[in-house]
């Protein structure tokens, strides 16, 4: 599957200030990851730390918080990882689930899906 990016807007939970990103759609990443310097500038509070397994099998810890995320006219509150300085923004799997979106790998786009309630 190829990779592709989408434009997202991220702001504080109150929704008063947003910053735009081109984020790589990464279903292999549980959470959305953004550069810590940007999250700090937005005033996003750290709410603890989580452990993460990287592609090279290393385990690292990063702070987490919550942001309001906008994508294609929809918005939701998601857990965000304070990534290392200079990291490329990643749109993770849980944000896609919150927005009821799935990846269309053939056309490299996000498509709406029905949420499940069985």
Render 11-52 in DSSP notation, one character per residue: E-TT-S-EEEEEEEE-TTSSSEEEEHHHHHHTTPPP--EEEE
Averaged pLDDT, groups of 10, the chain, 118 residues long:
88 91 94 96 95 92 97 96 94 96 95 92
For 53, the 3-state DSSP assignment is: strand
Contact 26, 91 (CB under 8 A): yes
Whether pTM > 0.85 for this model: the answer is yes
Cα 82 to the center of its chain, rounded Å: 10
The HSE-up count of residue 8 (CA atoms within 13 Å, CB side) is 29
pLDDT given at position 1: 54
Domains of the chain: 7-112 (2.40.70.10)
Of 25, 36, 31, 45, residue with least CA distance to 95? 31
Contact 84, 47 (CB under 8 A): no
């Amino acid at each position: 599957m190829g990779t592709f990016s989408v434009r997202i807007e991220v702001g504080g939970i109150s929704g008063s200030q947003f910053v735009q990103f081109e984020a790589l759609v990464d279903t292999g990443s549980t959470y959305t990851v953004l550069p810590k310097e940007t999250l700090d500038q937005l005033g996003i509070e750290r709410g603890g730390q989580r452990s993460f397994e990287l592609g090279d099998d290393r385990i690292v810890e990063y702070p987490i918080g919550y942001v309001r995320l906008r994508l294609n006219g929809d918005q939701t509150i998601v857990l965000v990882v304070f990534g290392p300085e200079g990291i490329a923004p990643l749109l993770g799997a849980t944000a896609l689930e919150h927005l009821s979106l799935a990846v269309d790998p053939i056309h490299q786009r996000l498509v709406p899906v029905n949420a499940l309630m069985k």
